[in-house]
A = this chain, B = another copy of it.
Amino acid sequence: MSNKPSIPKGTRDFSPIEMARRNYIFDTIKDVYKKYGFQQIETPAVENLKTLIGTGGDESDKLIFKVLNSGDYLAKADKKALQEKNSTGLTKSIAEKALRYDLTVPFARYVVQNQNDITFPFRRFQIQPVWRADRPQKGRYREFYQCDADIIGSDSLLNEVDLIKIIDEVFTELFQGNLNYTVSINNRKILQGIIESVGESDNFNAIVVAIDKYDKIGLQGVYDELYKLSLTKDSAKKIMELMVSKVIYDDTRVKYPNKTDLELATSVLNVLSKDIADTINGKKGIEELEFIFEKIEHLGVKTANIIFDATLARGLGYYTGTIIEVKIDNFPSITGGGRYDDLTGKFGLKDVSGVGISFGADRIYDVLLDHDLYPEFKGDSTQVLFINFGEKEQDYCLPLLFQLRDAGINSEIYPSSAKMKKQMTFANNKGIKYVVLVGSDEMESGKLTVKNMENGEQENLTIEELINKVK
């Protein structure tokens, strides 16, 4: 094989500079998670296929990468499916394992499997890659990292408050006040209440899917979708009122910039409550949202715009209460999450409520790059390079090199006495700030010639002076 090597579609290599940027994002998120009492876990990349399938519907099952059984896998293959060349039917019998497609299902499995060792409420965070057999496109990969935090075993809404504050802290840190971002909050129970109040619970999923498209297709679009579902005129009208409340809300925000997030949310919630407060779900949803907005108002935020978005649906996931989504202008969701009441039920542990968020590291990466918001990553690369002039000089420099390293300074010697120009180019390309030149003069005097590659200045320094300078 001598053709140019490549990597699978939708996957990526990360170069040193890309790694430095990614680690900066991960470390920022990790530090905030820890400050809020979250503890890290990791789960295997490969789960049993039966753990993963059936959690997100057929469409999700198709997105799962299956791992072929080792050895003579055809010996135990489903004969009928094999004969009929039925790929879908055959899979289970030749692939027992699969790559995880999110961190939430493995976490639910982890909680059930380790329930006797876990102290609930359990605040866990997890930063690992996931894999999806999606069609790759700009900003969508087949291997990407998720940065999840969940609190499981508590239905207290203080957990939601913590998660919203975490979002505020992370983006305050990453954006440094240079970017506007909006944390939209809704509650699935309000959607349920509306749909219940018009007697269309059977159409719940289809209606949510229609509402979810608002950002893309607008008011008229949603109305057309609802029309297709053959709702009665009254039902469609009430649901459209929900949509309109979002428009009114957005208008009010612009018109009255001095109204607080809580005041704005309350005014819309009041309107909504006329319609849905007599449904149990609707009432509960409104109460929950009010609690969250009150606490956030009480505690304040650093840089987030917090808004109530009655049309936020977040797809057909497992959410049952609060839902959260973070957006910046002209960019798809960069963080999202919500509350789920029965995530572990599939694995035999009932009635455990949880709530979580997931930062989309890859999208955040692009946003920071587009807006030039990365700090300089000095400590990450080599700081000092000894130029190699030959054996004698090299032997003189080696102990000095290790003195620098012992002082915690990232340093190297060029490994051979290559041409000066080549060695200097190496220093330049690697972004090394100080280059040390040692010839016979320097060996005699013990004063090293140190060149600052950023401004071209040269100095004569002892090794101790060099250490102090770099530190």
Contact = CB atoms under 8 A, between A and B. Distances in A.
Interface string A411-429: 1110110000000011001
Contacts of A51: 5, 7
Nearest to A383: B37
A412 B36 contact: yes
A37 B16 CA distance: 12
B346 A415 contact: no
A178 interface: no
Interface residues of A, number: 107
A430 interface: yes
Contacts of A46: 8, 11, 65, 99, 131, 142-143
A39 interface: yes
A68 B68 contact: yes
Contacts of A2: 347-348
Contacts of A16: 39-41, 124
B347 A380 contact: no
Interface in A32-62: 34-37, 39-48, 50-51, 54, 62
Given A47-B7, A113-B6, A380 B129 contact: no
A45 B36 CA distance: 31
Contacts of A154: 415-416
A139 interface: no
Interface string A12-26: 111110011001000
A416 B348 contact: no
Interface in A274-319: 295, 298-299
Given A13-B113, A75-B87, A87-B73, A44 B7 contact: yes
Contacts of A328: none
Contacts of A458: none
A83 to B, nearest CB: 10
Interface string A399-411: 1001001001111
Contact of A117 (B15, B85, B143, B425): B15
A401 to B, nearest CB: 9
A298 B35 contact: no
Nearest to A427: B119
B114 A95 contact: no
A159 B5 contact: no
Contacts of A97: 8, 65
A117 B13 CA distance: 13
A213 interface: no
A158 interface: yes
Nearest to A128: B129
Interface in A85-126: 85-88, 90-91, 94-97, 99, 109-110, 112-114, 117, 119, 121, 123-124
A127 to B, nearest CB: 10
A368 interface: no
Given A36-B405, A74-B87, A75-B85, A4 B44 contact: no
A82 interface: yes
Q: Count chain B CB atoms within 10 A of each CB in A8, A124, A382, A399 and give the residue with the most.
A: A8
A45 B114 contact: no
A5 B35 contact: no
B429 A13 contact: no
A113 B4 contact: yes
A13 B129 contact: no
Given A5-B48, A37-B410, A299-B399, 10 more contacts: A1-B50, A1-B347, A5-B51, A16-B41, A35-B409, A45-B99, A68-B95, A73-B87, A75-B85, A298-B399
User: Which 3 A-B residue pairings sit nearest by Cβ, starting from the closest?
Assistant: A156-B415, A11-B44, A16-B39
